[in-house]
Structure 1
Amino acid sequence: MRPATSIRFSANRADFFSTLNHRVNDYFKSNNISRYANAEMKFKTVFMYVLFFAPYILLMTQTVTQGWAMWLLTLVMGTGVAGIGLSVMHDANHGAYSNKSWVNNLIGYSLNVMGAGAFNWKVQHNVLHHTYTNIHDVDEDISPRGILRMSPHGNWKAIHKFQHLYAWFFYGLMTFVWVIHKDFARLIRYQKDGMVKKQKANLAAEWAILIATKLIYVGYILVLPMLVLDITFGQWFIGFFSMHYVAGFILAVIFQPAHVIDGSEYPLPDAEGKMENSWAIHQLHTTTNFANKSRWFSWYVGGLNFQVEHHLFPNVCHVHYRKISSIVKQTAEEFDLPYKAEPTFSGALMGHAKLLKELGKRPAMQVAQA
């Protein structure tokens, strides 16, 4: 991976973001609205936790004992895991849930409650992805993953010719792998890369938090069910895997089309590490909205279909994205800058599949060398 500190964004056309920032701030001020969570957001927080824990309680109290019904409840829990990830912990770990840091930190640990690690997520998502979106060898969201090629600058393998077909299966493994392996591997890598130090974090404390919360997760998700319920380990594993498969698939198909979609751009720094555009303009070139007219869809996915607004204003709670989107679009058009949006979610998925297929083709350079 390229060191993130070696990349610098241009200062050209800085007036775009200063103008946009002024207009968005004026919207909140003139309407006397907080940019943080409102009543809708607080209700959603409770709803998403209930979506996860209500089925868990039904299982643990043996209110539901039929095998097929128990399995269905694990699928519902999976939608709860994804909902908490999309709509609750995401805002909190961006500092957008509350103007109080302790509230953001507390709610941000929703991720740990779901079995993952908030610190790792902040480094991977807030720092590497949000700052260096779609930049090869820095943005881990498009980093090489062996069987998936998410960037035209990544190494090509023959198997990639079929990735537009098999990627969908592997998307479901995302949180499963994350919980049992990726958190540990990432913290080790961030330690070696110096990212832990750059975040001014205490390495020992982060390891202690990660291990302790993993043990708590194992306790309530594995140990208690095996002690209380009349099930085999195999039956438990089917439920656990199914829950994470649903969660992983939902999260993947929401996040991937925002940056890996037909028309996506993958800018590279020059030899000295300088990018052509400013950070804000870079976000417009590498980010795409989708299904913005669907209110129920936006509600469940935490406004992440307004990905342009989210990348430009990650410290604004997602319940406000719909309102500020017209400001962002108008300002981008005034400055003759792109504002990418796909009308429907199905269209976004098709655009994602189209780019996966294109990225799966053997690069012309390798064809010439063969």
Structure 2
Amino acid sequence: MGKGGQGTQNGISKVKDFSMEDVRHHDKRDDKWLVIQGEVYNITDWSRRHPGGSKVIGHYAGQDATDAFRAFHNDLSFVKKYLKPIHIGSLREETKETEVERDFRELRATAEKMNLFKPNALFFVLHLGHILLLEYMAYAVMAYFGTGWIPYILSLVFYATVQAQSGWLQHDFGHISVFKNRYKLDHLMHLFTMGVTKGASPQWWNHMHYQHHAKPNVMNKDPDVRVEELFVVGKVMPVQVAKERKKSMPYNWQHRYFFLIGPPLLFPVYFQYMLFRHIFTRKAWWDLLSVSLFFVKFFYLYIPMLGIGSTIIYYFILRCLESHWFTWVSQSNHIPMDIEEDTAKPWLALQLHATCNVEQSFFNDWFTGHLNFQIEHHLFPTMPRHNLHKISALVRSVCEKHNISYKIKPLGTAFADIVRTLKHSGELWYSTYNAFHSP
């Protein structure tokens, strides 16, 4: 424990001088401290009221959260007023930022000077406009030409594109990267694009996605890699699962059954269950209203043309198509990368070990919602996506300076690497399981 001891807060001596080692001891569920810009905060009670969710801030308990804090918040003056009541002291002078941390923070300052956090309103207006046009075309092609196979397939293609592109657009609003400090407008448009247009819960998305950004590919913290009931990923998880004698699935075949239960069923089965579960358990009634508006609109428009049964089939096929699009794009940037326990890596190293890029082209930008610049997006999640390519060269130069791998792949290679990685992880599980549990 550090020196001092004037006053108390929540039963803890309020001290003015801590070492980083002191902070590391406070990483328990009922005892959480973290560091932001050299100051120590007790977030034990505050984490339950944290607007981004208790888990996303709790994942940094016992660690330095300076760069994560800066990455998630646009208006620091607004946020810092919430920090004053939970401030309990400062780090000792000998605890200094590393060269990697200093260079990354200088890089962020450069991006701010270049106005790369300033959104282009026309970009987002046009993007929303093309989504609304495609949604109209999905309905109109069957309304005008009937429900034969050709208009039916065209309608599905249009509507699946609407769902995928709405997914990328709601991602922008969810990260507060469109209206910046006018949070209510971003939240309102998030309700519209995620709820009314896609039929999903914005609050559920925030709960899951913010954790992913805070600790990408970190086992037991990133919900996107809590998949051991069906898959083992990376190099650490297969060994752990094998040693624990877990054999819920034939993981050595996962690169094959991935095609059956991964992309086809993620949205129409798992996500449908999880989003409604979240809505009712968290009493997210605004989300329920926006999702209800989607289903009212959808069934009102399509049942007169298709009938109830065929409309449900149409909906299921639509979700399968959307699920393929989302899964291949989102997993291509993460599954082939490092998946490990939390070792409190600095922000730059943490994100680069967990993410990779896909080559830039007009099609790749549109098809992936600019998540082909996944590295830059993870480093600067509130940066409008149309500006991500403008900072990529500078990011690469910082990575080269510190010998941090910056990976970029063709789109097809990125997709193929998902399957190759699953195959390798499955084989690692199989060999470890046989080595530890063979008769």
Could you say whether these structures have the same fold, taking a TM-score greater than 0.5 normalized by the shorter chain as the test? yes
Which category describes the TM-score, using the shorter chain as reference length? 0.7 to 0.9
The alignment partner of 1:144 has SS state of: coil
Give the deviation of 1:213 after TM superposition. Answer: 2.4
Partner of 1:52 in structure 2? 135
Alignment partner, residue 26 of structure 1 = 110
Taking only aligned residues, the RMSD between alpha carbons, in angstroms, comes to 2.5
Larger mean Cα displacement after TM superposition, 316-325 or 358-367: 358-367
Identity in percent: 20
Other-structure match for 2:412: 346
The letter of the residue matching 1:176 is: P
For the pair shown, the structure with the greater C-alpha radius of gyration is: 2
> In the aligned structure 1, how far is the partner of 2:132 from the partner of 2:141?
14
CA distance in structure 1 between the partners assigned to 2:426 and 2:116 by the alignment: 46
| Larger RCO: 1 or 2 (CA < 8 Å, sep 6+) | 1
- Aligned-pair distance for 1:38? 4.0
In structure 2, the residue matched to 1:67 is 148
Q: Please tell me whether the aligned partners of residues 167 and 194 of structure 2 are also in contact (alpha carbons under 8 angstroms).
A: yes
CA distance in 2, matches of 1:319, 1:340: 20
What does 1:223-238 align with in structure 2 at a 5 Å threshold?
223-226=300-303, 228-229=304-305, 231-238=306-313
How many Å apart are 1:278 and its aligned residue?
Answer: 1.6
Partner of 1:112: 195
Unmatched runs of 5 consecutive residues or more in structure 2? 1-27, 30-54, 66-95
More strand by share: 2
How many Å separate the matches in 1 of 2:228 and 2:308? Answer: 30
1:309 aligns with 2:368: no
Which of 247, 251, 259 is the equivalent residue of 2:326?
A: 251
The residue aligned with 1:215 is: 292
Deviation at 1:252, TM superposition (A): 0.4
8 Å CA contact retained: 1:52, 1:78: no
Aligned residue among 163, 180, 185 for 1:81: 163
Aligned-partner Cα distance in 1 for 2:369–2:272: 25
The more displaced of 16-25 and 62-71 is 16-25
Distance (whole Å) between structure 1 residues aligned to residue 395 and residue 290 of structure 2: 39
Amino acid at match of 1:89: Q
- 1:327-368, CA deviations, whole angstroms, 9 ceiling, x for partnerless residues? 1111111122221222x0111112111111012223544212
Alignment partner of 2:339 out of 257, 266, 269 = 266
TM-score w.r.t. length of structure 2: 0.71
Corresponding position of 1:168? 259
Stretches of structure 1 lacking an aligned partner (at least 5 in a row): 192-202, 270-274
- Residues 6, 287 of structure 1: alpha-carbon distance in 2 compared, 3 angstrom cutoff: closer
Q: Distance in 2 between matches of 1:300 and 1:57?
A: 23
Shift of the 366–145 alpha-carbon distance from structure 1 to 2, 3 Å rule, reads closer
Distance (whole Å) between structure 2 residues aligned to residue 166 and residue 311 of structure 1: 30
Query: Given that residues 49 and 84 in structure 1 are in contact (C-alpha distance below 8 angstroms), is that contact kept between their aligned partners in structure 2?
Result: no
Contact persistence 1:257–1:352 (CA under 8 A)? yes
Return the TM-score normalized by structure 1: 0.83
Q: 1:335 to 1:180 in 2, by over 3 A?
A: closer
